[in-house]
Amino acid sequence: MEGGLRADCARCFGLCCVAPAFAASADFAHDKPAGQPCRNLRTDFGCGIHPELRERGFAGCTVFDCFGAGQRVAQQTFGGRDWRNAPEHANQMFDVFAVMRSLHELLWYLTEALRLRPPADLAAQLSAALAETDAVAAGSPQDLLALDVDGHRAKLNLLLSRTAELARTRGGAAGADHRGAVLVGRDLRRVDLRQANLRGATLIGADLRGADLTRADLTGADLRGADLRGADLSDALFLHQAQVDAARGDRQTRLPVRLGRPAHWSALPLTPRRTRRR
C-alpha cells in the first residue's frame, strides 16, 4: 500500500499535465484548459522542462502530488490504455483521475494516522477505513464517478481529527487552536505552535523561522511560500511532501525522516539559530 501512495510518473500517462485546468499566475506560466495537454508534455508523457520547472514559471507543477493516483488510474482502472491511443476514454479517464486523487490522499492520511499508534479501538476503525477506501478505489470507472467523494471524506475526517487530537494531547495539554485560520504573511516566530491545531490554516508567506511545530497538526495547511528556515517539523502531524516542497527552508529545517529536503532550499540563506521555548 505505502509504495502505491507515491507518484510513479513512469507508469502514468501524464494525467496531471492534462486533466486539471490552470491559470496563468506565479505558479503557472500560461493558461491551460481542463483536458488539454500542457504544451510541455512530450509524446512519451514526460515533461519537456522538468529540470527547469521553477525557472520556467511552473512552480505549481513542482508541488503537486497525486499520491500515486496517476499510475493507479493508468495501469489498473484503465488497464494500461492511454488517452492518446484510446481517445474515446479520455474524458472519463480525466474525471476518474480527480476522484482517485482524492481517494489516494485519504489513503495517505489514514496510513499516517496508523503510524501515530492510536488506541486499539481507534486503530481498528482506521484500518477498516483504509481497507474500505482502497476497495472503493479499485472500482470501475463508473463506480468511481458515482462516488460521493465529499461524503466519504467527511466520514473519514472524523476519525482523522480524533487521531490528531489524541496525538496532540499525548503527554500534556493541546496547543493553540488555529484551525482554518488565515495567517497569510504573519510573523509567527514568537508564537507557541507546539501541539497546535493548524488544520486547514492558510500560512502562505508566513514567517515561521525557528518555529517549533512539534506535534502540530498540519492537515491541509497551505504552506506556499512559508519561511521554514530553522524550523522544527520533525514531529509535525500529517505533513506531506507537497507542503514541504511549496515552502522555503534551509539545512537547519528539521523534517520528518520520510520527507525529502527540496532542492530549491539550497539557494536560500541560513537563518540564525535561536533558543526555542520549552
Side chain identity at residue 231, one-letter code: A
CB 49 within 8 A of CB 56: yes
- 164-207 pLDDT tens trace: 999 999 877 889 999 999 999 999 999 999 999 999 999 999 99
Indicate whether 242 pLDDT > 60.
yes
pLDDT of res. 174: 86
What pLDDT is recorded for position 190? 92
Q: What is the 3-state secondary structure (H, E, C) of the chain?
A: CHHHHCCCHHHCCCHHHCCCCECCCCCCCCCECCCCCCCCECCCCCECCHHHCCCCCCHHHHCCCCCCHHHHHHHHHCCCCCCCCCHHHHHHHHHHHHHHHHHHHHHHHHHHHHHCCCCHHHHHHHHHHHHHHHHHHCCCHHHHHHCCHHHHHHHHHHHHHHHHHHHHHCCCCCCCECCCCECCCCECCCCCCCCCECCCCECCCCECCCCECCCCECCCCECCCCECCCCECCCCECCCHHHHHHCECCCCCECCCCCCCCHHHHHCCCCCCCCCCC
Q: Cα separation of 123 and 98, whole Å?
A: 28
| 60 vs 254: CA distance, rounded Å | 23
On the question of pLDDT at 238 being above 60, the answer is yes
Cell of 21: 485546468
Q: In 54-69, which positions are buried (b, 16+ CB within 10 angstroms) versus exposed (e)?
A: beebbbbbbbbbbbbb
Please, is 222 exposed, middle or buried when counting C-beta atoms within 10 Å of its C-beta (0-12, 13-18, 19+)? Answer: buried
Residue 132 has pLDDT above 80, yes or no: yes
Average pLDDT value for the chain: 93
Residue 229 clears pLDDT 90, i.e. is over it: yes
Amino acid 277: pLDDT: 46
Residue 266: per-residue pLDDT: 75
In this predicted model, what pLDDT tens digit does every residue of 71-103 receive, in sequence order?
Answer: 999 999 999 999 999 999 999 999 999 999 999
Average pLDDT over residues 210-235: 97
User: Is the entire prediction scored with pTM above 0.85?
Assistant: yes
pLDDT of residue 2: 56
- In the beta sheet, which residues pair with residue 254? 232
Whole-number Å distance between alpha carbons of 129 and 77:
21
Q: What is the dihedral of CA 225, 228, 234, 239, to 10 degrees?
A: -10
User: Band of the pLDDT at 268, cuts 50, 70, 90?
Assistant: low
For residue 177, the cross-strand partners are 197
The predicted pLDDT at position 276 comes to 46
Which of 202, 198, 186, 269 has its CA nearest to residue 233? 198
